[in-house]
Structure 1
Amino acid sequence: MMSFTSPFSLALATIIALSLLGVPVGQAMIGGSVLYLYLKGMDMGTAAEQLLNGTYSSFLLLAIPLFILAATIMSSGSILDRLLRFCNAIVGRFPGGLAQVNVLQSIVFASMSGSALADAAGSGKMMLAMMTRDGKYTRGFAAALTAVSAVIGPILPPSIPMVLYALVSGASIGYLFIAGVLPGLLLGAVQMGLIYFLAKRRHYPVEEKVALREMPRITREAFPALMLPVILLGCLYSGVTTPTEAAGLAAAYALLISVVLYRSIGWGDIYHALITSARTSISIGMLIAGALVFNYVITAENIPASLSVALKTFDLSPLGFLLLVNLILLVLGAFLEGSTIILVILPVLLPTATALGIDPVHFGVVAILNIMIGLVTPPYGLLLFMMTKIADVSLMELVREVLPFLAVMLGALAVVTLMPDLVLFLPRLAGYTG
């Protein structure tokens, strides 16, 4: 049994204490890990060595700032407005029209964002204003829907969480991207189905139908932006580019259509996009750096092997293990930031999953879906707190509206967990042999 005064326990306590004091999680993990090395009498330079080896040897990590830059550019100017008009033309005529648009725009915006928080703060914030204008929807419902629809983004490609999972698991980022398509669409479908039910029950309004003659123009205006995921995935699966090169191509394409085709941004907007994406990338980079150092500590303590031995005593089947992982990640997701879970917790669980014969791509999609649902799980889901500030609603009102969506999303999670073929169908069509 681990002593409370052991180097690992003290390192863990340090990380928690620093985090509670407001120190960013990445720096807190580095501080706790350095303390562990000191108490164990190990070379203090090991921390820097692990950090440098982990970052400079991973070309894949360059994809993260490039995807963020592409998303920042695409959400500037008039591109977002064109996409919202397109979404409204498709689903605005159904019961709960604007609510349906909110979900569809999250699916479309996923091709530019890859981040649930970016979706909620960007296009989601605009949808919140549209839904609450003239009192069409309550602020609580609009905020809850914006939060739950935002979790769709990181399931669909390109996905920053999947890039991080590929980093720690060695799984193919291309196959992970395409594996998320059907689960992401399933998540959107169950949300839209619930909206239809609630709209009938609560008499939510239907938006004015867009004339059929207007559809070609609206589609034509949105078409260049809609082509981004097609170009991205096409380059990946044709073998023309690596994932990182595809991310660079996505950023270049976003800049090209924004400046040349739409002419919706100027030099000031480009500068702002570069600064914003740099800040976001740095915060993620520090988290990765801290996780790389702390993962060395976890490995040095032989925790993955010890956990694997402990789990074997329960004689879990692959399905039983996945259900246990679901429970663990749902609880952790309600308290911890998603990237931390992917970088620190999943490497501990992966050896057991591999030993049980669980496909790493299926395991990754299930894990990331769990973590995303955790963002809207009461009482501490990060998206819940974010939306209370953006929408100026009480946490209690927000949670009350979130719970029905949480129920159907857990149902979608159960389907994805129990049916690995749903996740692996598209990757296998693309040549995956797992």
Structure 2
Amino acid sequence: MFDPFVWALALIALLSLFGYSIGISMLVGSIVFLAGRGFDTSIASETLLQGLFNSYTLLSIPLFILAADIMNAGSLADRLLRFSQAVVGRFRGGLGHVNVFSSLIFSGMSGSAIADAVGMGRIIINMMTRNGQYSPSYAAAITAASATIGPIIPPSIPMVLYALVSDTSIGYLFAAGILPGLLMGLVLMAMNAFIATRRNFPRDESVALRDIPVTTFRAVPALLLPVILLGGIYGGIMTPTEAAAVAAFYALAVSVVVYRSVSAGQFFTTLLNSARSTASVGVLIAGALAFNYVITRQDVPASLAGFIQQFDLSPIGFLLVMNLLLLVLGCVLEGGAILLIIVPIFVPTAQALGIDLLHFGVVVVVNTMIGLVTPPYGLLLFVVANITRQPVGAIVRELTPFLIALLGALAFITFVPDFVLFVPRLLGYRG
């Protein structure tokens, strides 16, 4: 029997297996569904155009991508690493701590795990492996693990996507990610300290105390970006989308005027790279918008909610099931696809169970970030493997302790919603 929905799902899976982007696959599957049901296939294009052009929120994505690319093209990453080394580099396993600490800082600027790994990661990996103090696979592992913090601490491109499908406040979502992001950084640094002690990693050359003020002063223009962004958003001066524009302009001004590290040619290349990244995300969003229409017509959320209610799950039980599901899906699906396709199906159920959507959003985003470092298809694994020329298997072995630490942080975030909601409530959240 011909079921258009089943055929659409099968076609999406088949096209994905043959290497087509998930966005294109969803568009094709949606058109097949509409044609099979006798609907006008132009509904697919109308739905995605309305979704793309009527969402002011989505404008922030290309701007945050551009800001991150400009920072990677200039010397901001290098100066931030020197500052991080001055702060935490004096301890045993110090460059590992620098790796995590610099990710915490950079995450307040880029909102992208890939941007963190490609920009800061490339520099810190070279620092860690230069004198043979750390193996390339260990440097790659801790770089991949620390890059997951990027989209948790604001700004965050995945949180913008979650806000799109859940209709929650981006400003409060950003605030909800601050403490969980710091917790992830803390557990990764603790694990690095534990491993450094067991393996007797050397103490790295520390920055002299008299040099710290100079190093800090040189990094101040870059360090001010998170302050400007968060201060502007939570001070009511600008929306998150406007803040993204300010971030891109500020990164360009600092790189060109203050640090003088970006030439006209580099800026043009940066624009091209940002356009390619934006187009890739745009196709994914377009496909998800069209396929979400299919899911709605098929009444999948209501059917799934009814199925889950049969098991009489408590809110914590539901979150545990979601964690398991998202961690498994993260092994085979890209995070953006999970946020745009899978999560909207479960949002109504979470609401019905009384789960705060800010808390649910942070749990979901943390899961998708952990998915970036889980084999076989963790995207960050391939990014750092390409940088270090190490086998993915060797990186995964070194990554396992850090993955356990991140799962521990995820468990705490899941079971203690007040921890996630503490900062949003300070800013007036009443959900």
TM-score, normalized by the shorter chain, greater than 0.5: yes
Is 1:193 equivalent to 2:190 in the alignment? yes
1:380 deviation in Å?
Answer: 2.8
Is 1:325 equivalent to 2:322 in the alignment? yes
Aligned equivalents of 2:207 and 2:132: distance in 1?
22
1:389 deviation in Å?
Answer: 2.5
Q: Which amino acid aligns with 1:239?
A: G
Sequence identity, in percent? 58
1:219 deviation in Å?
Answer: 0.6
Q: 3-state DSSP class of the match of 1:241? A: coil
Q: How does 1:228-307 map to 2 (within 5 A)?
A: 228-307=225-304
How many residue pairs get aligned? The number is 431
Q: Which residue of 2 aligns with 1:115?
A: 112
Q: Which amino acid aligns with 1:253?
A: Y
Q: Which residue of 2 aligns with 1:23?
A: 20
Identify unmatched segments of 5+ residues in structure 2.
none
Q: Deviations over 1:102-152 (max 9, x none)?
A: 111111111222111221122112211111112111111111111111101
1:399 deviation in Å?
Answer: 1.4
Q: Deviations over 1:325-379 (max 9, x none)?
A: 0000000011100000000000000000000010000000000001111111233
Query: Would you say the 8 A contact 1:92–1:101 is kept in 2?
Result: yes
The CA RMSD measured in Å over matched residues stands at 1.0
Is 1:408 equivalent to 2:405 in the alignment? yes
Q: How does 1:59-78 map to 2 (within 5 A)?
A: 59-78=56-75
Q: Deviations over 1:152-187 (max 9, x none)?
A: 101111100000001111110001111101000100
Q: 3-state DSSP class of the match of 2:223? A: helix
Q: Which residue of 1 aligns with 2:336?
A: 339
Aligned equivalents of 1:118 and 1:337: distance in 2?
16
Q: 3-state DSSP class of the match of 1:134? A: coil
Aligned equivalents of 2:280 and 2:153: distance in 1?
22
Aligned equivalents of 1:396 and 1:273: distance in 2?
32
Aligned equivalents of 1:209 and 1:74: distance in 2?
26
Aligned equivalents of 2:201 and 2:175: distance in 1?
35
Report which stretch shifted further, 324-333 or 107-116.
Answer: 107-116
Query: Would you say the 8 A contact 2:78–2:120 is kept in 1?
Result: no
Aligned equivalents of 2:106 and 2:64: distance in 1?
12
Aligned equivalents of 1:385 and 1:14: distance in 2?
27
Q: Which amino acid aligns with 2:351?
A: T
Query: Would you say the 8 A contact 1:334–1:382 is kept in 2?
Result: no
Report which stretch shifted further, 320-329 or 232-241.
Answer: 232-241
1:81 deviation in Å?
Answer: 1.2
Q: How does 1:155-166 map to 2 (within 5 A)?
A: 155-166=152-163
1:206 deviation in Å?
Answer: 1.5
Q: 3-state DSSP class of the match of 1:427? A: helix
Aligned equivalents of 2:212 and 2:31: distance in 1?
60
Q: Deviations over 1:229-285 (max 9, x none)?
A: 111111111111111111111111111111111122121122111111111111000
Q: 3-state DSSP class of the match of 1:135? A: coil
Q: Which residue of 2 aligns with 1:429?
A: 426
Aligned equivalents of 2:342 and 2:214: distance in 1?
48
Query: Would you say the 8 A contact 1:27–1:290 is kept in 2?
Result: yes
Aligned equivalents of 1:352 and 1:115: distance in 2?
28
Q: 3-state DSSP class of the match of 2:285? A: helix
TM-score (norm 1): 0.98
Q: 3-state DSSP class of the match of 1:122? A: helix
Identify unmatched segments of 5+ residues in structure 1.
none
Q: How does 1:368-383 map to 2 (within 5 A)?
A: 368-383=365-380
Aligned pair partner of 2:131 in 131, 134, 138: 134
Aligned equivalents of 2:159 and 2:45: distance in 1?
25
